[in-house]
Structure 1
């Protein structure tokens, strides 16, 4: 079985950098992807989907340093389901993409380069991820 996601989109906000109690770096940000579809009348409509992205380790630090709101980025990762309780004690579920690789596709200002650097996360937490200290996923 395969759990692999590939996305190209723009950051909706700057990455939010945090550290777990054990010192592991975690960056979170939202990513917008667009898809064009024809509606029932045959008119093209743009549909935007927002994705919650999580990056761990050195890749998280790199994301925090190099990615900003509006950056075009290529993401490879896996879908992760997160169950949590809100402040009122209600059980919640959220889906997020745990990125193991990303590539900045926006050109660096003042350079003739077409693409930025690639970052790979070689060690990503799995089921044993420490719980975040907040009650909302983003």
Structure 2
């Protein structure tokens, strides 16, 4: 079984490319961090951040294009894929990617962002009759 589950932050703006007949593929780096801790002898172990190359296709890529930005927190579920390529100098490069099958957006849209676009007084007083019978 080849299954990966990650929760992390998008490292830079996703790149979305379109291929045959409107087939989208999105790629971006995702940073996951293990928090540091203190050993019983007092030694501090620092945070450790790992970077993962994420690849999404079809409908997920189109969702990424519309809603995912640098810094967003995501849950990614998929599988590890390894590939190699030779650059123009003949140097072989090894690439590890996570091909995502599932994605959840974990960065909440701020309630304040929604409120800034509306007049709070008009919301509070909308449809309220101040002439209460009690």
Is the Cα–Cα contact under 8 Å of residues 10 and 73 in structure 1 kept in the other structure? yes
SS at match of 2:108: coil
What residue number does 1:92 align with? Answer: 93
Structure 2 distance, partners of 1:88, 1:64, is 33
Q: 1:38 to 1:55 in 2, by over 3 A?
A: same
Q: Secondary structure at the match of 2:46?
A: strand
User: What corresponds to 1:12 in structure 2?
Assistant: 11
- Are residues 1:71 and 2:88 paired? no
Q: Contact (CA 8 Å) 1:14, 1:64: kept in 2 or not?
A: no
Deviation at 1:67, TM superposition (A): 0.6
TM-superposed CA distance for 1:37, in Å, is 4.1
Distance 1:22 1:89 in 2: 33
Alignment TM-score, normalising by the size of structure 2: 0.75
* 1:27-73 residue CA offsets vs partner (Å, 9 max, x unmatched): 00000000124477521310100100000111101111111000000
Contact 1:71/1:106 (8 A) holds in 2: yes
Q: CA RMSD in A?
A: 2.0
- 1: CA distance, partners of 2:112 / 2:82: 39
Which of the pair has more CA radius of gyration?
A: 2
**Inter-partner Cα distance in structure 1 for 2:30 and 2:3:** 16
